[in-house]
Amino acid sequence: MERKLTPQQVLQWYIEAGVDETIGDAAVDRFRTSPAAPAFPVPAPADWPTAAAGPSLPPAPSMPAPLTPSEGAVGEAYRAAAAATSVEALRRVLEGFDGCALKKTATNLVFGDGNPDADILFIGEAPGAEEDRRGIPFVGASGQLLDRMLASIGLDRSRFFISNTVFWRPPGNRNPTTGEMAICMPFVGRLIELVNPKILVAVGGPAASSLLAQNVSVSRLRGRWFPYSSPGLARPIEATVIYHPAFLLRSPAQKRAAWQDLIGIKRKLASL
């Protein structure tokens, strides 16, 4: 027998299904109106950051030919990012950039936080709800854990800069798509060039695969160092990968490994 749901039950059903954002008043048939998102990988262009594969790592999987910097929205993003000559200028460029669809549903741009002259730069995955509300990366539960972890090796936000692979919150905290990451990647790459840190840390798997072109799990990448290079850098930057704090909140047993990685970062910083 058909059972009628009350409006409250329907809303509850939506929330449990992960729908926690209202994007528009009228339904949009996206199958009719929009072409599918381009199937291109992150990282995109051939001259974009590369990392030398360590001896025990499998080669990067073969992927479809990436877009070149001159094509479409990614090309526009490359040109806009390249024009910025300071971190603050890059923030302003991003404020005016409409090429990433995530901007439409986000409350705020979440550009970055900390010291743009720091020796160490952390790149996470994507802003969450609290970050979106405040326009600052890593201020929710996982960000607070990351702050405590970094404080244990003497680092606070006056001594590092932190950002993400995308600059707007994906609706409902879903993962950013490869297309969204590819659009933001030119800005992430330019941010790395402008901060020009001694150490670059990818926080979690998506940041690792987009920055280091290594599509293997964090457990295989953590504790290792990779040269990160890009055309605007005078010399390669030492890059590494750590577990994402959201993963550590779910898997506290991995905190021991995370602690070892932090010690490795502290040592590396002291040696450079």
The residues binding ligand URA (CB under 6 A) are 124-128, 131, 137-138, 140, 142-143, 164, 246
Q: Cα dist. 182→99, 158, 228 in Å?
A: 11, 29, 17
Place of tokens 């326009």: 135
Minimum Å gap between C-beta 148 and ligand URA is 14
Helix (H) or strand (E) holding 145: helix 141-151
C-beta of 114 vs 140, nearer to ligand URA: 140
**Which residue has its beta carbon closest to ligand URA?**
124
Closest to ligand URA by CB, 137 vs 197, is 137
Query: Which is closer to ligand URA, CB of 164 or CB of 214?
Result: 164
Would you say how long the chain is, in residues?
A: 272
CB of 85 to ligand URA, least distance (A): 25
Query: Nearer Cβ to ligand URA, position 69 or 128?
Result: 128
Q: To the nearest whole angstrom, how small is the minimum distance from the Cβ of residue 89 to ligand URA?
A: 22
Name which of 78 and 180 has its Cβ closer to ligand URA: 180
**Shortest spacing between CB 130 and ligand URA, in angstroms:** 8
Q: Which is nearer to ligand URA, 101 or 203 (CB)?
A: 203
Smallest distance from the beta carbon of 65 to ligand URA, in angstroms? 29
Minimum gap (Å) between residue 127 Cβ and ligand URA: 4
Helices H, strands E: what count in the chain? 12, 6
* Angle subtended at Cα 183 by Cα 182 and Cα 184, rounded to the nearest 5 degrees: 90
Specify whether the CB–CB gap between 6 and 13 falls below 8 A. Answer: no
Alpha helices in 152-254 (DSSP H): 178-195, 205-212, 218-221, 245-250
Kindly state the DSSP code that residue 46 receives in the 8-state scheme.
T
Contacts of 123 (CB under 8 A, 6+ apart): 162, 163, 164, 165, 188, 192, 200, 201, 202, 203, 207, 211
